[in-house]
Amino acid sequence: MIRVGIVGGTGYTAGELIRILINHPDVEIVSITSTSSAGKPIYETHRELIGETELLFSEKLAPCDVIFLCLGHGISREFLTNNPIEDSCKVIDLGNDFRLDGTFGERSFTYGLTDLNKEAIQKSDNVANPGCFATAIQLALLPLVKEGLISDEIHIHAITGSTGAGKSLTGTSHFSYRDNNISVYKSFTHQHLGEIKKTLSAMNGSEIPEINFVPMRGDFPRGIFASLYTECSIEDSEKVANLYKEYYNDSPFVHYSDKGISLKEVINTNKCLIHTELHNGKIHITSIIDNLIKGASGQAVENMNLMFGLDQKRGLSLKPSTF
């Protein structure tokens, strides 16, 4: 059994991670730390786990084989500095601390986009889990970049559920603000742009053209719906579809849809669905994920599976909530 420790266990991504891992056949959760809830049952915070586990939050991390860092952005480096762990213990960071700069002392972090870096992840002891928007957007563009088909600016509108803002209450995460409301935030400046540009430019062999990204807050709890378009020299829709199907042929979770897609088809799953259309010399791509699973905790478990030589799908057969 893989002994798992979770650092920072009270947030949304930690809750999803616990839900997945308590049902993972090869995992034993040995500790879930929380400075604010130490000694209390996990289900008091994550109410959906009543009857599923009797685990308690702990103040300190027990010896384990892998730790998942579910901390606020910028805190993972501080934690590892102040809490030295055994060299044999693997680390998966769900924050943004190691996505752009993967160096930390003797540790070197691999960027954990599983559908791009599978072989590198299998050989790595430290992984930086991608951001949720970054996952949906990169998966939409990887096949085009691989074929050298990105020659002009990329335009993106992507809408995310309220869980993407985390549990800490703010003026824009109140029910009274979110309900029946949509708003734009961090236009052209979102923090995930850095990792998107870094990954795609490396794959492209040169700097990727300008990415114009407008994120939006949705009036729903979870999920990301990304809508992208750019110039495209291919004029045959079937050729484009086959390009995507071939690229993701061996992917257990990324699937191309010949028909238009809707967000509920991926909610509560680790899937990404992609659809494309051609319009007047442009390609329009839609890409959808559950921001808490494929965009966070599910992909983190994929990374763990690969790091320990397990089937990539192990413990991730989840049913979508379509109605």
pLDDT value of residue 316: 98
224-231 β-sheet, strand order: 183-184, 211-217, 154-160, 224-231, 282-289, 272-279, 254-256
HSE-CB at 30 with a 13 A cutoff on CA atoms is 15
Helix spans in the chain (H): 12-21, 42-45, 76-82, 118-122, 132-146, 175-178, 193-204, 237-247, 298-307
pLDDT value of residue 77: 95
Q: Across all residues in the chain, what is the average pLDDT?
A: 95
Specify the DSSP class assigned to residue 41: B
Q: Is the pLDDT of residue 121 over 80?
A: yes
Q: What is the pTM of this model?
A: 0.96
Provide the pLDDT confidence category of residue 167 given band limits of 50, 70 and 90.
confident
pLDDT value of residue 57: 96
pLDDT value of residue 174: 81
Q: Is the pLDDT of residue 302 over 90?
A: yes
pLDDT value of residue 30: 97
Q: Is the pLDDT of residue 187 over 90?
A: yes
Amino acid at 264: K
132 is an active site residue:
yes
Residue 54: exposed, middle, or buried by beta-carbon count in 10 A (0-12, 13-18, 19+)? exposed
pLDDT value of residue 36: 86
Task: Write down the number of H helices and E strands in the chain.
Answer: 9, 16
* Mean pLDDT of all residues in 244-257: 98
CATH of domain 132-291: 3.30.360.10
User: Quick check: 131 and 192 in contact, CB under 8 A?
Assistant: yes
Q: Is the pLDDT of residue 322 over 80?
A: no
pLDDT value of residue 94: 97
Percent of the chain with pLDDT over 90: 91
- The fold adopted by the segment(s) 2-129+294-307 is Rossmann fold (3.40.50)
The residues that bridge with 159 in the sheet, in sequence order, are 216, 225
Q: Is the sign of the CA dihedral 135, 273, 14, 322 positive or negative?
A: positive
Provide the pLDDT confidence category of residue 84 given band limits of 50, 70 and 90.
confident
Percent of the chain with pLDDT over 70: 100
What are the boundaries of each domain within the chain? 2-129+294-307, 132-291
Specify the DSSP class assigned to residue 127: E
Strand ranges (E), 46-139? 57-58, 66-69, 90-93, 103-104, 107-108, 110-111, 126-128
pLDDT value of residue 166: 80
* Domain 2-129+294-307 matches domain 132-291 at the CATH topology level: no
**Which residues touch 251 (CB under 8 Å, ≥6 apart)?**
115
Provide the pLDDT confidence category of residue 173 given band limits of 50, 70 and 90.
confident
C-alpha 249: how far from its chain's center? 20
List 64, 70, 132, 272, catalytic entry = 132
